[in-house]
Amino acid sequence: MKQHEAALEVNEVPSMHKWLTLSLQHLFAMFGATILVPFLTGLSPAVALVSSGFGTLAYLLITKGKIPAYLGSSFAFIAPIVAVSETSGVAGAMIGSFFIGILYGLVALLISMFGTGWLMKILPPVVVGPVIIVIGLGLASTAIDMAMYIPGSETYSGTHFTVALVTLAITIVASILFRGFFSLVPILFGIIGGYVFALTQGIVDTSGIQQEWTSITSAESIGGAIAAIFQMPDFVIPFVDFSPAQVFSWEIIFLMVPLALVTITEHTGDQMVLSKVVGKNFLEKPGLHRSILGDGAATMIASFLGGPPNTTYGENIGVLAITRVFSVFVIGGAAVIAIFFGFVGMITAVIGSIPSAVMGGVSILLFGIIASSGLRMLIDNHIDLGEKRNLIISSVILVIGVGGAFIQLPNDIQIAGMALSAIIGILLNLVLPGKEKGESQKNMFEADASESSREEDKSGVA
């Protein structure tokens, strides 16, 4: 691979006056998307920040400090987490996240033993692309509901929809017109701009912020003020807050775990892009198995705290591409700051005050980008939908996934929606004759990498 001139090499320690600034830059790149996931799933944004920080540190440790990657909340599991939480609570979603981490570990073990060829045999682009489209389109109604309706009701609100559209417009303008680092954080600009506009429309509940400010300013001593600033996040810890044995069900497993195969494939593509950006083959050294194991460990850590599953973030890869700062110490610094922010009550209060209409406006673009990313995967890999085999596989996946089909098993167990579409897509690809010739893992991910390396705007989602 071609070597790239670096401002800071992978294992180079920055000077102290640069370290904080560079780490904050990485944190802001993933901040908007990472807090959106817990916002949509009913989890705690503070816990999401803490779990992403600890998950990133674990990832850096497992990969021997050789891969500069930040991990944040995964969008792929939004719908399954919501579905599981409705029936089994947050504890159920954490059980599912734990087993997602287990699957990551098993895949990492298989890759270390047998290489990566087997993974592409069960997850070629003709399967992964449509499943990614299903993930995006399956969330479309969530984005529209948040944008159009008064929270907690089905009452249409022109004010809320206006706020959502203004937020969407700001995000689009930031994505298209901004350059450099600013082009990487259109979500953050959209949330901030939408929040300011929502304030003028009177739909922002600032009572939590006022309460935090009162607690700080009314403290009788500096120690009391410091105590008021920091708060314990709403962790959901197994064996403390719930008994895993009482919450476990096979329905949780079938709803959440199959989608991990898709995110693992996406993760491999991210590693290809990151390797090109940095100029080192991370799939060989320290190895894809370590990278996937790091993702799995980060997801398991999140499940022990009450946070959403973690994955590598395209936005942060974009920061590396622009700044040429590859230092894992900068990434580690961003992780430490994220943990710190998770314990600051004022930050949690500000996040909690963001109107659902603002998040809905951002989500319209983000969820569309997810669906478009699946379509781009099909195009980049030259999947010919004129071939009946490809047409059948993609069509069945789309209708089953978007239509919300499910299989009812004994003991009220369901295999539904995205998970069912992924399973059926994998089975169809394995059993239908006429499998595409000449398609390989290298082709798939090099196409993705070459396309991504040409783009400075990394506003897609992980």
Residue 395 lies in a domain: no
98 domain residue, yes or no: yes
Amino acid of residue 88: S
What is the percent of the chain where pLDDT is above 70? 93
* Model pLDDT for residues 439-461, shown as the tens digit of each residue: 544 455 444 544 444 443 444 44
Residue 141 exposed, middle or buried by CB count within 10 Å (0-12, 13-18, 19+): exposed
- 250 part of a folded domain: yes
Residue 409 lies in a domain: no
Residue 159, number of CB atoms within 10 A of its CB: 14
126, two tokens: 């003709």
pLDDT for 313 equals: 77
Do the Cβ atoms of 443 and 126 come closer than 8 Å? no
Q: Is the pLDDT of residue 331 over 90?
A: yes
Residue 462: the pLDDT is 57
Q: How far apart are CA 349 and CA 356, in angstroms?
A: 14
Using DSSP, state whether 287 is helix, strand or coil.
helix
Q: Are 50 and 305 in contact (CB under 8 A)?
A: yes
Residue 240: CB partners within 8 Å, gap ≥ 6?
Answer: none
Nearest to 95 by CA among 261, 236, 234, 233: 236
Residue 81 pLDDT exceeds 90: yes
The pLDDT, as a whole number, for residue 3 is 47
Residue 68: half-sphere exposure toward Cβ, Cα within 13 Å: 35
Q: Which domain holds residue 25?
A: 16-114+142-365
Tell me, yes or no, whether 437 lies in a domain. no
pLDDT at 307: 94
The overall pTM is greater than 0.85: no
Q: Cis omega before residue 433 (within 30°)?
A: no
Q: Which residues touch 379 (CB under 8 Å, ≥6 apart)?
A: none
Q: How far apart are CA 305 and CA 46, in angstroms?
A: 11
Residue 415: its H or E element? strand 413-416
**What amino acid occupies position 357?**
A
Half-sphere exposure of 135 (CA within 13 A, CB side): 32
Per-residue pLDDT of 211-256, as tens digits, reads 999 988 888 788 888 888 898 999 999 989 999 989 999 889 988 9
At 325, is the secondary structure helix, strand, or coil? Answer: strand
CA distances from 406 to 127, 347, 402, 422 (A): 18, 40, 11, 12
Number of domains the chain is built from: 1
Q: Which of 248, 340, 307 is nearest to 43 (CA)?
A: 307
Decide which of 389 and 15 is more confident: 389
Amino acid in the structure at residue 46? A
More confident residue, 429 or 25: 429
d(CA 286, CA 8): 19
392 inside domain = no
d(CA 97, CA 103): 10
Q: Are 171 and 186 in contact (CB under 8 A)?
A: yes
Answer yes or no: is pLDDT of 380 > 50: yes
Q: Extract the tokens encoding 142.
A: 């969530």
Distance CA 124, CA 128 (A): 6
pLDDT at 92: 94
351-356 mean pLDDT: 90
Q: Please report which confidence band the pLDDT of residue 28 belongs to, taking 50, 70 and 90 as the band edges.
A: confident
pLDDT bin (cut points 50, 70, 90) of residue 436 is: low
110 domain-assigned? yes
Report the percent of the chain where pLDDT is more than 90.
Answer: 46
Question: Is residue 431 in some structural domain?
Answer: no
Task: Work out the burial of residue 431: count CB atoms within 10 Å of its CB; fewer than 13 is exposed, 13-18 middle, 19 or more buried.
Answer: exposed
Q: Per-residue pLDDT for 61 more than 90?
A: yes
